[in-house]
Amino acid sequence: MEFEIKPLASALGAEIIGLDMSQPIDDDTQARLRQAWLKHLVLLFRGQQLTPEQMIAFSRRFAEPHTHTNYEAELRHPDHAELLLVKSRHVAGRDVRFGEQWHSDMSFTTRPALASVLYARSMPETGGDTVWANMYMAYETLSEPLRRFLDTLEVVHDLNNGTTHRVRPTAMIEASRRRNPPVRQPAVRIHPETGRKALFVNEWACPQFIGMTREESQPILEMLFRHSTQPEFQFRQKWKRDDLLIWDNRCTIHLALKDYTDFSSRELMRTSLVGEPSGVLLTEQEYHGVPA
C-alpha cells in the first residue's frame, strides 16, 4: 500500500498521507509505518473515521494497550478498558487540564508506555494544542561530561509529584499513591528498538535523583527540563476533529497547552501501549529516607 510521509517539524513529527486506518493494513505497510514512526517519533493521520474498536485495533498494530487500572474510573471509557477519555476537569476546586506539565506516559510505573495514541473527538475553536519534544536531541546536545554523569544516575518518577496531583486532598493523594507507588528509572534510557540514548526525566514526575538530596538534584533537573523543552526540539500539533496521532514515549515528552477555557469543547480518546520493563519500585527507605 502506498503512502506519503510529510515531515511536520525538523525535530520530530510527520504526517502519513494516503492510508485509511479503519481498514486492514498488510504486514509490509505496517513494517514501513513502524520504520517511519521510529524515525519521526510522532505520526499524524488526518481525517480518520474510527469506532472505538478500530482505534484499539490500530493501537494493537504497534503494541498491546494498557487497561488503565491505575487511573480513576471516571477517566476510563465505560465499555473499553483500553480507552482513556482525555478531558479537562475540576478537581479540588481547581481547573485541571489533562497532561498540563511535560511528561512521558506511565513513566511512573515499571512498564512505562512504549507509545500512546490520541484520537481527537472535539476541539475548541482556538487553543488546546499539544506539544512534543525530542529526548534523543535533548540527550545528544548535552556536553560530554554531563552525558557521562547522567548515564550513571537514576531518578525518581512519581505520578503524585505533578502540580495537579499535589493540590488534591490528602486522602485522594494517598489512594493515588497506593495505585501508583513511585519508581526509580535510569535518567538516560537506551531505546530498545533504535539503540539510541534518550534523556528520561520530566517535570511532572521527577522530584530528585536517587542518592542525591533534593537541594542537589533540583538545579540539575530544572536545567534539564529547560534544556529538553527548547523550541528547536519541539513539534506542535494543532488538532482537527478525526486526527489520529501515535507517539513514542521512550524518546519524547509532551505537554497539553492550557490556553482554552471551555472544558466541554475538548475531548480526545487515548490508548497507552505497554512498554518494555524499566525501573524498580522505590523501597520505603528510599522514598522516606532520602535527605530533603
Ligand X SMILES: O=C(O)CCC(=O)C(=O)O
270 binds ligand X (CB under 6 A): yes
| Catalytically active residues, by annotation | 103, 105, 254, 270
**Residue closer to ligand X, measured from CB, 40 or 254:** 254
Q: Give the nearest distance from C-beta 173 to ligand X in angstroms.
A: 20
Among the residues of 126-197, which ranges form H helices?
135-140, 144-151, 163-166, 170-179
Nearest residue to ligand X by CB is 99
268 binds ligand X (CB under 6 A): yes
**Residue closer to ligand X, measured from CB, 58 or 209:** 58
Q: Quick one: cell of 183?
A: 519508581
Helix, strand or coil, per DSSP, at residue 68: coil
Range in contact with ligand X (rule: CB under 6 A) among 2-10, 74-82, 97-105, 278-286: 97-105
Angle at 113 between CA 236 and CA 25, to 5 degrees: 75
Q: What does the alpha-carbon distance between residue 108 and residue 2 come to, in Å, rounded to a whole number?
A: 38
Question: Whole-angstrom distance between the N-terminal and C-terminal Cα of the chain?
Answer: 57
**Residue closer to ligand X, measured from CB, 137 or 159:** 159
Q: Give the nearest distance from C-beta 266 to ligand X in angstroms.
A: 7
Q: What does the alpha-carbon distance between residue 127 and residue 238 come to, in Å, rounded to a whole number?
A: 8
273 binds ligand X (CB under 6 A): no
Q: What does the alpha-carbon distance between residue 253 and residue 233 come to, in Å, rounded to a whole number?
A: 10
Among the residues of 168-252, which ranges form H helices?
170-179, 214-228
157 binds ligand X (CB under 6 A): no
165 binds ligand X (CB under 6 A): no
Q: Give the nearest distance from C-beta 211 to ligand X in angstroms.
A: 29
Interface residue with ligand X, options 98, 149, 263, 287 (CB under 6 A): 98
Question: How distant is the alpha carbon of residue 154 from its chain centre?
Answer: 19
Q: Give the nearest distance from C-beta 283 to ligand X in angstroms.
A: 28
82 binds ligand X (CB under 6 A): no
Question: For the chain, give me the number of helices (H) and strands (E)?
Answer: 8, 17
Q: Quick one: cell of 8?
A: 511536520
| Positions in 246-265 near ligand X (CB under 6 A) | 254, 256
The count of residues in the chain is 292
**Residue closer to ligand X, measured from CB, 124 or 207:** 124
**Residue closer to ligand X, measured from CB, 115 or 221:** 115
φ/ψ of residue 270, rounded to 5: -130, 140
Interface residue with ligand X, options 130, 160, 217, 271 (CB under 6 A): 130
Q: Using CB under 6 A as the criterion, which residues of the chain lie in contact with ligand X when the complex forms?
A: 86, 98-99, 105, 130, 254, 256, 268, 270
